[in-house]
């Protein structure tokens, strides 16, 4: 039976997906000669296949199909591997969103909350408090330590998570008019993360599949009226940012 809570929080991965598409368009514009040449090659192969015998015709048709497959794969990757990380980022955020949907009705999440230098993947409010979740979709094995998450050459500093959590706290206090709770910076890792759960210098690193069980096991620290106030403040932040974007 379909859950009545499914998709109650929308918008996960929106900014990353939009950036991926923007970079793909830019890559295609910059490499238009390659794409035009590829299209011409496919057309020539198809036309030529009509003038050949059965064997030659099948060969040229297969060559055209192979060329189409290559260009479709490059298109799916965004025209360049550097763009594909944004698609992976969007997928990671959506995986986290699916987990958040499993939480009870006392939880609320604002996905893809913009700010002046980017966006927050997920700001989650629940009985244990307020959490800033940063989703990471990684291909290689990840390890947390030295105040950062490492995966191959990639490094995600814990300071970025702490800084974002502090900014969320400040935004809440500006709108609430009183001291907001501690906002817990958290990296949610999708991929091979043998540590499963790790904490260092105020930042939590947790495997995506462990997210719900970890959150559900935390003690209650804020009341329902307090949570409602935090949710209202977060919605005001989103509304204010949207208004600024329209004015700009």
pTM, two decimals, is 0.78
List the chain domain ranges.
Answer: 32-78, 87-247
What pLDDT, on a 0 to 100 scale, did the predictor assign at position 84? 55
Q: Which two tokens stand for residue 99?
A: 């987990």
Share above pLDDT 90 across residues of the chain, in percent, rounded to a whole number: 42
Q: What is the mean pLDDT of residues 219-240?
A: 87
Q: What is the pLDDT of residues 174-187, one digit of tens each?
A: 888 878 888 999 99
- The radius of gyration of the chain from alpha carbons, rounded to an integer in Å, stands at 23
Number of C-alpha atoms within 13 angstroms, CB side, residue 78?
19
Write the pLDDT tens digit of every residue in 98-146: 999 999 999 999 998 877 767 889 999 999 999 999 999 998 899 999 9
Length of the chain: 248
Q: What is the pLDDT of residue 248?
A: 43
Tell me the per-residue pLDDT of 183-204, one tens digit each, with 9 for 90 and over.
Answer: 999 999 999 999 999 999 999 9
Q: Where are the alpha helices (DSSP H) in the chain?
A: 14-30, 32-49, 54-76, 81-100, 158-176, 211-216, 224-247
Q: Is the pLDDT of residue 165 over 90?
A: yes
Quote the mean pLDDT of the chain.
82
Q: Report the alpha-carbon distance of residue 77 to residue 59 in Å, rounded.
A: 27
Q: Which two tokens stand for residue 71?
A: 């260009």
**pLDDT for the residue 238:** 74
What's residue 88's pLDDT?
A: 66
Q: What are phi and psi of 189, to 5 degrees?
A: -105, 125
Residue in the structure block whose two tokens are 């106030």: 229
Burial (0-12, 13-18, 19+ Cβ within 10 Å), 20: buried
Q: Assign 203 to helix, strand or coil.
A: strand
Summarize pLDDT for 21-65 with one digit per residue, the tens. Answer: 766 777 767 776 776 777 787 788 788 777 777 877 888 777 777
Q: How confident is the model at residue 5 (pLDDT cuts 50, 70, 90)?
A: very low
CA distance 66 to 47: 16
Residue 82 is predicted with a pLDDT of: 59
């Amino acid at each position: 039976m379909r859950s009545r809570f499914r998709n109650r929080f929308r918008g996960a991965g929106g900014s990353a997906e939009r950036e991926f598409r923007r970079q793909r368009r830019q890559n295609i514009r910059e490499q238009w000669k390659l794409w035009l040449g590829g299209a011409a090659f496919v057309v020539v192969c198809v036309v030529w296949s009509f003038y050949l015998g059965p064997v030659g015709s099948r060969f040229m048709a297969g060559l055209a199909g192979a060329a189409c497959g290559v260009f479709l794969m490059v298109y799916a990757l965004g025209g360049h591997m550097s763009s594909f990380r944004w698609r992976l980022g969007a997928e990671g955020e959506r995986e986290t969103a699916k987990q958040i949907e499993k939480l009870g009705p006392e939880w609320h999440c604002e996905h893809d909350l913009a700010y002046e230098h980017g966006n927050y993947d997920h700001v989650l409010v629940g009985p244990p408090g307020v959490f800033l979740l940063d989703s990471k979709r990684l291909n290689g094995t990840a390890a947390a330590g030295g105040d950062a998450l490492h995966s191959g050459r990639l490094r995600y500093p814990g300071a970025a998570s702490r800084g974002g959590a502090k900014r969320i706290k400040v935004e809440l206090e500006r709108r609430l008019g009183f001291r907001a709770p501690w906002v817990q910076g958290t990296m949610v890792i999708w991929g091979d993360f043998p540590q499963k759960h790790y904490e260092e210098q105020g930042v939590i690193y947790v495997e995506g599949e462990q997210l719900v069980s970890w959150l559900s096991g935390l003690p209650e620290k804020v009341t329902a009226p307090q949570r409602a106030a935090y949710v209202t403040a977060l919605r005001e932040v989103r509304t204010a940012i949207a208004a600024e974007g329209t004015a700009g």
